[in-house]
Amino acid sequence: MRNRPHAFLRVGTHWINMAMVTDIEDRGSELCIFLGSDMARLVGTDAPVPLDVARRISVTEAGDVEKLRRWLLVNDED
């Protein structure tokens, strides 16, 4: 079994880095994918301060929802 899922999955017009997905919310015919990333910024000093940035993508196309659900079943680690 793989330690990590395949990194990129094409859903609609988006390429999603599935390794960066923090949560997926199932809303029936719609899936909301939440992505998190770490960025660094300088705040008046030389030391970078981590800044969490989140992004949400809504998947509503029936074929893409099914493709994403199938990917989740194949890569389920629990």
How many folded domains does the chain comprise?
Answer: 1
Does the pTM exceed 0.75?
Answer: no
The Cα-based distances of 59 to 10, 26, 72 in angstroms read: 11, 10, 14
**Does residue 3 belong to any structural domain of this protein?**
no
**Does residue 1 belong to any structural domain of this protein?**
no
Q: Which among 65, 55, 56 has a CA at the least distance from the CA of 12?
A: 65
**Does residue 2 belong to any structural domain of this protein?**
no
Show the domain range for 62: 8-74
Q: What is the pLDDT of residue 25?
A: 92
What digits encode the pLDDT tens for the residues 50-66?
A: 666 678 889 999 999 99
**Does residue 66 belong to any structural domain of this protein?**
yes
What digits encode the pLDDT tens for the residues 18-47?
A: 888 888 999 988 999 988 776 555 555 666
